[in-house]
Chain A
Amino acid sequence: MLPQRMAQQTLRRLAVQNPAYRFAIPTAAVASTNAFRLQRRLVATQSVSPEEATESILAKQRLVRPVAPHLSIYKPQITWYLSALERVTGCFLSAGFYVFGTLYLAAPMLGLHMESAVMAASFATWPLLIKFPLKAFVAWLFTFHGFNSLRHLVWDTASAIQNGTVNKTGWTVVGLSVASALGLAML
């Protein structure tokens, strides 16, 4: 052991003094060993309790995990756009329905007049420029949700779910809902 170690040390010293040795051996071998480099052994450790590890390190690390990107990165397609719109239109309609029901109940306490006659009379005084777009919008929420729901109910029977059919029925619903909404708004 000792002679071998001495030889090693001598060799190292030689290598430091005379870097020409480097050229005598393959470069890859040099890269894979530390024979000619000064080793750094700067180590600091600290003991972390399991609680501390989960609460400080793991909890913080979880905050920097990748997050799913927002919907805007997806290509707009008739399939998922109409599916989302079905929910959005339903929520709008339901919200209006709920707000009206609650306000009608609370009207006496709030001093409001939610009777149909009063509402009809006050709506009649609005200018057409506001009335028509509002009616068209509300009508479209209703017609779209209604027509598109038929597609969803058909899909629930596992039919008409080929890509081409979904595209066709989708655009049909778009056309039908817009046309019928405009028709209803003109009533």
Chain B
Amino acid sequence: MAALRTTVLRQVLAAPTQRTLVTSAMPMRFAAQKLAQRPAFSLQRAAFQTSARRSILPPLPQKVRGNVNDAAQIPDVDPTHGSYHWTAERIISVGLIPLTVAPFAAGSLSPLLDGTLCGLIILHTYLGFSSVITDYLPKWRVPLMRKLFDFANFLAVFVVGWGFYEFETNDVGITEAIKRIWTA
């Protein structure tokens, strides 16, 4: 009898529990709400934080497109967005070196070189600003702002170009003007 009892006991203890699905008393709906209300960073982490927390790009209101198993979008490979773009940037940058050094060496530039300097600075700025816009205003994050800034950047090339065209034709030119204001 004692032997039987131990066998049964062993069987009972070895029997796998049926409670594989552990559920709490909290209904799913409340659990989801509680998750959403929870502060972004738990108290445990806040305890280690001594300074004010500043996130570099806090998430904006989310809009889920497609589903989580969609493949990442890869833009079409195009040399005008890659190697040509890169090379154009370098050519403009390198071209600006003699044009910025020349006024220091030989005084003011001829109107033609002065105009070239203005034009290259505008192109250099356009490419520089577009890199900044691409970096800080990603399409997936702020699509509207990105469009707006890209358009403003494009428009500015013509507005500023026109402005400097007027300045170069009606005034003394950019290098001479800087020289006069600087030594005033």
Contacts and interface: CB of A to CB of B under 8 A. Distances in A.
Given A42-B24, A91-B132, A102-B159, A60 B35 contact: yes
Given A115-B171, A116-B181, A58 B28 contact: no
Interface in A17-42: 25, 29, 33-35, 39-42
A11 B171 contact: no
Contacts of A61: 35-36
Nearest to A34: B17
A153 B124 CA distance: 14
A33 B13 contact: yes
A34 B18 CA distance: 9
Interface residues of B, number: 64
B181 A104 contact: no
A63 B62 contact: yes
Bin chain A's interface residue count: 35 or more
Of A43, A103, A121, chain B has the most CB atoms within 10 Å of the CB of A43
A10 to B, nearest CB: 9
Contacts of B62: 58-60, 62-63
A180 B102 CA distance: 16
A129 interface: no
A101 B9 contact: no
A63 B21 CA distance: 28
A103 B159 CA distance: 10
A46 interface: yes
Contacts of A35: 12-13
Interface string B124-168: 110011001000000000000000000000001001111110110
B38 interface: yes
A2 interface: no
Interface in B82-132: 90, 93-94, 97, 100, 121-122, 124-125, 128-129, 132
Contacts of A33: 12-13, 15, 17
Mostly, the B contact residues are helix
A184 B124 CA distance: 24
A113 B30 CA distance: 66
B55 A54 contact: no
A70 B55 contact: yes
B14 to A, nearest CB: 8
Given A46-B28, A58-B64, A94-B128, A101 B160 contact: yes
Given A101-B159, A120-B184, 15 more contacts: A34-B19, A58-B62, A60-B62, A62-B64, A67-B59, A87-B128, A97-B121, A98-B125, A98-B160, A102-B160, A105-B160, A105-B166, A116-B172, A123-B181, A187-B183
6 contacts: A62-B64, A64-B35, A67-B56, A70-B56, A72-B51, A98-B125
Interface of B: 8-9, 11-13, 15, 17, 19, 21, 23-25, 27-29, 32, 35-36, 38, 40, 51, 53-59, 61-64, 67-68, 90, 93-94, 97, 100, 121-122, 124-125, 128-129, 132, 156, 159-164, 166-167, 171-172, 176-177, 180-184
